[in-house]
Amino acid sequence: MSSSSPADPRKTIVVHPLVVRLTHWINAFALGCMVASGWQIYNASPLLPFTFPAWATLGGWLGGGIAWHLAAMWLLVANALIYFAYGLFGRHFRRTLLPITPGGVWRDLRLALSFKLQHELGVYNAVQRLLYLVSLLLGVLAVLSGLALWKPVQLQVLDDLVGGYPVVRWIHFGAMAGLVGFFVIHIALVILVPRTLPSMITGRGRPHDVTVSES
Amino acid sequence: MRKPPEISNRSRRMLLRSGLSLGALTMLTGCNLDDGDAVDRVLWAMSRFNDRIQGLLFSRTTLAPVYAASKLTTPFPFNAYYPMDNVPEIDVDNWKLEVSGLVSDKTAWTLSRLRALPQESQITRLICVEGWSAIGQWRGVPMRTFLQHIGADTTAKYVGFKCADKYFSSMDMQTALHPQTILALDTGPANEPLPPQYGYPLRIRVPTKLGFKNPKHIAAIYVTNKYPGGYWEDQGYNWFSGS
C-alpha cells in the first residue's frame, strides 16, 4: 500500500484507498439486498427441501423480493464495475492480490490454522488473496448466471453454455452459497482481528501494530 | 404485516401489496411505514426503468429455444391465482372473443373463425415467475396474423387481455408481433384443444415472457396506448417480465 517507513510506530498508513472502502461498503449493502431478496424468490419454488426463514428475507412476498432483486442488481453491478476498473487499471489487483502461489497458500494456511500467522495491516497474506480472488470470481459467476436467468431468451447463449435454464438456477444458487460462505469466513476473521474493521472505514491503521492472529 | 388504517385505506397504485417496504431491511433500520412509502416509490421507479431496459434488449427476431417432443414435461404443471377447483367453466356455444380499442374491425370472433386462420405449433419452455419451468407444446394463431386480421394499429403501445376468470394482463406491441407469440387453441403432446385448467378455449402463449404474462380463458383483446397493467403487475410484478 504505502512505502514501508519503519521509523515511527505511532504513524498511521493508508491501508485501504477511498475507492476500495466506498465500493466495499456499497457492495456489502447491495449484496445483502441481493441475497435476502434472492432467498425470498427461492422460497417461492425451492430447489432443495428447505426454505429460508422469513426474517432473513427481503420484500415481504415474491413480487417484493423480485422488485428488490431487480433494483439492487443495478447498484451491485455499477459498483462492481467501478471496483473492477480501479482494480485492473489502478493496479490495485496486481499490487494486493498477486502473486498467488500454491506454495504460499499452503504455507500461510498452515500458519493460520495454528494461529501463528502474523497479520500486517495493508498486506494480504496468501490465504486472504486466494479467498478474495475466489469471492470476486463467485461474484462474476453470480452476475452472469443471474443475467442468464433474467434473460433466458435474449441471452440464451449464456444458458446454452451450461445446459439450459434449469441448470443455471443451480449455478446461481451455488454462487450465492459460495458468497455467503465467504461472508461467514470474512466476518469470523474480522472478529478474530477486530482492528481490521476501523481501517476499512477510516482507511488508516498502524503498520507495526502487529499481533499474532489467524489472518 | 400491520398497517395503520389510514394507509391501507389510501388508494394508491404505489403500494406493492403488503410487503415491499417491510422486509428484513425495514426491521433492521426500524423504518416505519411512511419511510417504507419512499422505498416503495424507488422500487416502482426501478421496475419502470427495468421495463424500458427490457424493451431495448428485446429483439423481434431472437427466437425462444424450441425443443424436441421427447422433452415435453408431463403432466404439465397447473398454475393460477386460484386452486384447480375454481377453473372457470366456459360455455363454448356462447363464447366469443371480443375485440376493441385501436382496431378497424371490432367484430367478435367465434372459435371456428379462429380455427380457420393459419395455425402454428411450438414446443417451448414456460418459465414461471416463481422460478420453476416446464416444456410444453402449443398450437394456435400467431398474434401477428390475428392483429392483421382485425386491422390493429401496430404502432400502438400495448395489447391488453381480459379473461373469463377475472384475470387480466397486457404486453408491449413489439412482443405481440414476435413470431412465437400465439393465440393458443391446442396443447399437449397430441395438440388437442386446451383442457379447462390450461385455459380453454383460448390462451396467450408468449415464450419470450414469464408464465404470468400468458393469460388463459381469453375473453377480450384490445389495442391501446394507455398502460393497461395486469392482475399481478398492479400488485408489483414487473410489467415487461421478458425472458
How large a percentage of chain A has pLDDT more than 90? 58
Q: Mind listing the pLDDT tens digit for each residue in B174-201? A: 999 999 999 999 999 999 999 999 999 9
Search chain A and give the residue with CA nearest B242: A151
Q: Measured on CA atoms in the order A200, A202, A203, A209, is the torsion positive or negative? A: negative
Q: Is residue A85 part of a domain?
A: yes
Model confidence at B27, pLDDT cuts 50, 70, 90, reads: very low
Those residues of chain B whose CB sits closer than 8 Å to some CB in chain A are 1, 16-25, 27, 42-44, 46-47, 50, 57-59, 62-65, 125, 127-133, 207-208, 232, 235-238, 242-243
Residues B97-143 have pLDDT tens digits of 999 999 999 999 999 999 999 999 999 999 999 999 999 999 999 99
Residue A2's pLDDT is what? 44
For residue A5, pLDDT over 60 is answered with no
Closest CA to A71 of B160, B158, B174, B16: B16
Q: Is residue A5 part of a domain?
A: no
B72-81 mean pLDDT: 94
Report if residue A70 sits inside a domain: yes
Domain of residue A123: give its range: 13-208
Cβ(A124)–Cβ(A52) below 8 Å: no
Inter-chain contact A55–B19, Cβ cutoff 8 Å?
A: no
pLDDT top residue among A125 and A52: A52
Do B125 and B137 contact (CB within 8 A), yes or no? no
Domain count, chain A: 1
Most A CBs within 10 A among B26, B53, B129, hence the mutation to make, goes to B129
d(CA B80, CA B196): 12
Asked if pLDDT for residue A22 goes beyond 90, the answer is: yes
- % residues pLDDT > 70 (chain A): 91
Q: Residue A140 domain-assigned?
A: yes
Domain for residue A214, yes or no? Answer: no
- Cα separation, A186 vs A190, whole angstroms: 6
Q: Which residue has the higher pLDDT, B13 or A149?
A: A149
* Alpha-carbon span B229 to B122, nearest angstrom: 27
Determine if the peptide bond prior to A53 is cis (ω within 30°).
no
Q: What is the CATH number of domain B69-235?
A: 3.90.420.10
Amino acid present at A99: P
Q: Does A87 touch chain B (CB under 8 A)?
A: no
A53 vs B: CB within 8 A: no
A4 has a pLDDT exceeding 80: no
Domains of chain B by residue range? 5-57, 69-235
Collapsed DSSP state (helix, strand, coil) of residue B225:
coil
More confident residue, B232 or A129: B232
Residue B37 has a pLDDT of 82
Question: Is residue A7 domain-resident?
Answer: no
Query: What distance lies between CA B219 and its chain's CA centroid?
Result: 13
Question: Which pLDDT band holds residue B20 (cuts at 50, 70, 90)?
Answer: very low
d(C-alpha A94, C-alpha A115), whole Å: 27
- Cβ proximity of A39 and A52 under 8 Å: yes
CATH assignment of the domain containing A23: 1.20.950.20
A134-174 pLDDT, tens per residue?
999 999 999 999 999 999 999 999 999 999 999 999 999 99
Using the Cα atoms of residue A196, residue A198, residue A202 and residue A207 in order, give the sign of their dihedral: negative
Write down the pLDDT at residue A207.
66
Count of C-beta atoms within a 10 Å radius of residue A70? 22
- Closest residue in chain B to residue A43, using alpha carbons only: B130
Mean pLDDT score of chain A: 87
Nearest residue to B211 (alpha-carbon basis) of B57, B16, B46, B73: B73
Question: What pLDDT band is residue A203 in, cutting at 50, 70 and 90?
Answer: confident
Residue whose C-alpha is closest to residue A57's, from A186, A176, A178? A176
Please state whether A100 falls in left (phi above 0), alpha (psi between -120 and 50) or beta. Answer: beta
Is 60 exceeded by the pLDDT of residue A27?
Answer: yes
State chain B's maximal CA–CA distance in angstroms: 61
Chain position carrying cell 408491449: B172
Which of the pair, A204 or B166, is modelled with greater confidence? B166
Please state the ipTM of this predicted complex.
0.86
Helix axes of A102-113 and A126-150: crossing angle, nearest 10 degrees: 110
Q: Which grid coordinates belong to A44?
A: 417461492
User: Any chain B CB within 8 A of the CB of A163?
Assistant: no
pLDDT tens digits along A184-199: 999 998 898 888 888 8
pLDDT value of position A212: 42
Instruction: Please provide the average confidence, as pLDDT, over all residues in chain B.
Output: 88
pLDDT of residue A8: 58
Q: What are phi and psi of A91, to 5 degrees?
A: 60, 15
∠ CA B126-B131-B133, rounded to 5° = 30
What tens digit of pLDDT does each residue of A49-84 get? 999 999 999 999 999 999 999 999 999 999 999 999
Burial A38-67 (b: 16+ CB within 10 A, else e): bbbbbbbeeeeeeeeeeeebbbbbbbbbbb
Helix axes A18-44, A165-192, angle to 10 degrees: 130
